[in-house]
Structure 1
Amino acid sequence: MDPDGAHPRVHELDAVRGFALCGILVVEIWQLTDMRATIGPGTVDPVWHLLSVLFVGRFFPIFSFLFGLSFSLFLDRTVEGTDRPRLILARRLVALGVLGLIHHVFQPGDALLPYAIVGLVVLLPAAGLPRWVILLAGLIATIGVPCTLGGGLGLVPGLFLLGLAADRFGLADNLRDYGWGLAVAFLLAVPAAIAAGVWEYRTPYVELWTGSVAPVAGLLGALAYLTGFLLFLRTESGAVFAEVLEPMGRMALTNYVSATGLILVAEPWLGLSDSNRYSALLGLAGAIIAVQALWSYHWLRWFRYGPLEWVWRCATWWQLVPNVRTRRKLTVPYGGGR
């Protein structure tokens, strides 16, 4: 049984997930290759400082929010197909944790294991609460953590709850009806994000690791990126980007894990470790995005799920799930059903 496969996907959210993956990749390369952030004792590299304001903490919140939203979507669809949805969801999160343990060997900053733990401890119990309670708890956690404890993985519980609440309030099913709401949120978020970004850039780099400047600026930047990109997808140019990013978003787990392997293979050739070669970093990020975009597009012409997505789904349902597309589906270009 695979009830989730019978429901239409929300293509905009897949595209946003692909967009978030692209932004996370820049930070992932910097962390995994152990590049330098300074050009001398106590002097931060201005290029990296600018890149950190544009990327660090901006895309991880989007990805975390979407995880909570996707969790809710999967729960709703699972309820329709089984009388034990919470058991299946728990198995799904445990399987993600096992994959995270394996991935952690190659990428110590892996997010999959923390996602699985927070999902089991926070998301699963919260799924049965009233939607207003979920929203309030998500807001308190998301706003309170950066103001008291800093950012990083501490933001995950609140963002998970906000994603869960967003689906409970019908965001995924009625995304096309939220045009004015997105526009207002974007217009409010952009000046706040710019002001916070300038504040972050002018703050001594060492102080960013302990204060609340960076996480607050990151959340505002994430909101501006999220709402702006959703509005951009409604334009003709945005539709072109969607065709590229949707397959990447549908294969987010495969692309997130495979990026680690690609970075580790490329690093010795590029010599990024303990360097300030940020042009090479951006070049590698662009190359990986291009490879994964092509790979995802062609893979999904023949298969319903990415390789790791399929393994994860089989572990979730504890049985082999059909993956090969039928000949009839192969005749329709990807994205043509939007």
Structure 2
Amino acid sequence: MQAETLKTRIITVDALRGFALLGILLAHMIYWYNAGNMPQELFQKHDGIAMRIVGTINDILISGKFFAFFSFLFGLSFFLQMKSMEDSGRPFVWRYAWRITLMGIIGLIHHAFWRGDILSIYAPLGFILLPMRKLSNKVILVLGILLAINLPGLLIQLPGLIEQMGAAATPPPPPPAGAPSAQDPSQVFFSTVYKSDLWTMMKSNILSIGEKFDFQFGSGRIYITLGFFLLGMYSGRKGWFAMSSEERNPAFRKIRNRSGWLVLITLVIGIGIIVVNEILKLGWEQMPLPGYIFGILFNINSAALVVFYVAGITLLMNRHFWQYLLYPLAPVGKMALTSYLLQTALGLILFFNFGCKLVGVTAPWLNWVIAIVFFILQAWFCKWWFRYFYFGPVEWLWRTATYFKAQPFRKNHSSA
């Protein structure tokens, strides 16, 4: 029974990871695998009902949600690896630190090809988990929640908000006559990244690493990522994914219900603010305080939706019908690093200048169709791969470098 529970736990976590990769692919593919500001004319060219529908779905249900979902699973995996190594008497800290360093190197190489890489963010945050693993469950939970709703980012914005509110009554002076207009950053990004050759793009990406961290801190994503690391570690400490479904389900139902209500309440309040502003023509979109309040609601809504996804999908995987639909995601999740890098390769080949040059050509809804078809092929490929191999190719290299010893790769029966 214990072996069966362990197998079910592994499949469940891998399927969750596969679902997260599907969401990440959709979030990246919808707007041509961009990782920066894009010229507005690209969006205007496809403006219509279809784009508004997929754009709304993306904004509410996908964008900014699945990097956090994946971060939760990273924190869970951190705890599971730590517990496994400590239970077997193997040293954990230095082995984990070296493993994270290798992941950071992979991330920097990936960043050279695509600025949206998340591994180069995970690596430094992964080191922060080492001292934080000594904290109590209560502290981990509270810190995780506060970071997941981007409380540090909101506090950092407060002085600027107060300054903006004080200066709101005084319009800025007009620019001096003859002053040169600044070049549109979106056009610079577009020409440098999407319209240049591979080497020029890579040099630009490498030099932009500082801008990437500026964005992470400015948007609060780095705090949110660390917050979900901690929440994933907390779930591992509670043993939820080590329990049988009968033991786990009551806790997950409670979490699903509470997070679901929080999603609904914040969504209704946010929509209400937008509707009232439109009907009464209050001009709140031009005022700093309503924008700040809306940001708070958005952060809470996003964090609650991620928790709802994790709890809800875990519960669905206890039902035979949903197992049929969701368990095929497990091989993709088991090969998560390789799958993630292959998704980037797809984006580069389709949209960039050294590929098919389809940026702005394909409509966002079509990009989603392409993404779904590609993901189905990924799921099939990963299932086939694991018939013959123990690890994905990048996972095998990573594991081999971690232990300084070639790991088993090809299954013996495959030669028969």
TM-score, structure 2 length as denominator? Answer: 0.69
1:159 counterpart (223, 228, 236): 228
Tell me, yes or no, if the aligned pair for 2:349 and 2:356 is still in contact at 8 Å.
no
Q: State yes or no: 1:235 paired with 2:304.
A: no
Give, in whole Å, the separation in 2 of the partners of 1:99 and 1:232.
34
SS of the equivalent of 1:88 reads: helix
Task: Tell me the residue number matched to 2:248.
Answer: 178
- Residues in 2 aligned to 1:105 and 1:112: alpha-carbon distance in whole angstroms: 12
Contact in 2 for aligned 1:58/1:221 (Cα 8 Å): yes
Cα distance in 2 for partners of 1:31, 1:169 equals 40
Contact 1:14 1:250 in 2 (8 A): yes
Q: Choose from 214, 223, 232 the match for 2:298.
A: 214
Q: Which residue of 2 aligns with 1:46?
A: 52
Relative contact order higher in (CA < 8 Å, ≥ 6 apart): 2
8 Å CA contact retained: 2:143, 2:227: yes
**Deviation, structure 1 residue 11:** 1.2
Per-residue Cα deviation, 1:185-238 (whole angstroms, up to 9, x for no partner): 222222322343455567599959x93343222112112222211111111121
- What SS does the corresponding residue of 1:32 show, helix, strand or coil? coil
Q: Name the CA shift for 1:51/1:142 in 2 (closer, same or farther; >3 Å).
A: closer
Cα deviation, residue 323, structure 1:
1.9
The number of residue pairs the alignment matches comes to: 321
| Contact 2:19 2:329 (8 Å CA) reproduced | yes
- Is contact 2:18-2:332 (8 Å) kept? yes
Q: Residue 32 of structure 2 contacts residue 360 of structure 2 at CA under 8 Å; is this kept in 1?
A: no
Cα distance, 1:39–1:87 mapped onto 2, change above 3 Å: same
Q: Which moved more, 1:313-322 or 1:77-86?
A: 77-86
Q: What are structure 1's unaligned runs of at least 5 residues?
A: 1-6, 332-338
**Matches of residues 97-116 of structure 1 in structure 2 within 5 Å?**
97-116=104-123
8 Å CA contact 2:350, 2:358 repeated in 1: no
Structure 2: gaps spanning 5 or more residues: 1-5, 157-218, 275-283
Matches of 2:244 and 2:333 in 1, distance apart? 17
Deviations 1:265-319 (A, max 9, x none): 1226876524681111211211221121011111111111111111111122121
CA distance in structure 1 between the aligned counterparts of 2:141 and 2:296, rounded to whole angstroms: 22
Q: What residue identity is the alignment partner of 1:76?
A: K
**Residues 53 and 263 of structure 1: CA distance in aligned 2, closer, same or farther (over 3 Å):** same
Please say which structure displays the higher CA radius of gyration.
2
What is the Cα deviation at residue 31 of structure 1? Answer: 6.2
Alignment correspondent of 1:336:
none
1:293 aligns with 2:374: no
Q: In the alignment, is the contact (CA less than 8 A) between 1:254 and 1:306 conserved in 2? A: yes
By how many angstroms is 1:46 displaced? 2.9
Separation of aligned partners in 2, 1:216 and 1:38: 28
| Residue equivalent to 1:27 | 27
- Alignment partner of 1:267 is 2:351: yes
Moved more, 127-136 or 284-293: 127-136
1:134 matched to 2:220 = no
- State the Cα distance separating 1:250 from its structure 2 match: 0.5
Q: Secondary structure at the match of 1:10?
A: helix
- CA distance in 2: counterparts of 1:200 and 1:321, whole angstroms: 51
Contact between 1:56 and 1:218, CA under 8 Å: does it hold in 2? no
User: What does residue 181 of structure 2 align with?
Assistant: none
* Identity across matched positions, percent: 28
SS at match of 1:134: helix
1:123 aligns with 2:129: yes
Name the CA distance, whole Å, in 1 between partners of 2:339 and 2:74. 15
Check the 8 A contact 1:15/1:249 in 2, yes or no: yes
| Contact persistence 1:200–1:213 (CA under 8 A) | yes
Task: Tell me the TM-score normalized by structure 1.
Answer: 0.84
Instruction: Decide which of 93, 96, 99 is 1:86's aligned counterpart.
Output: 93
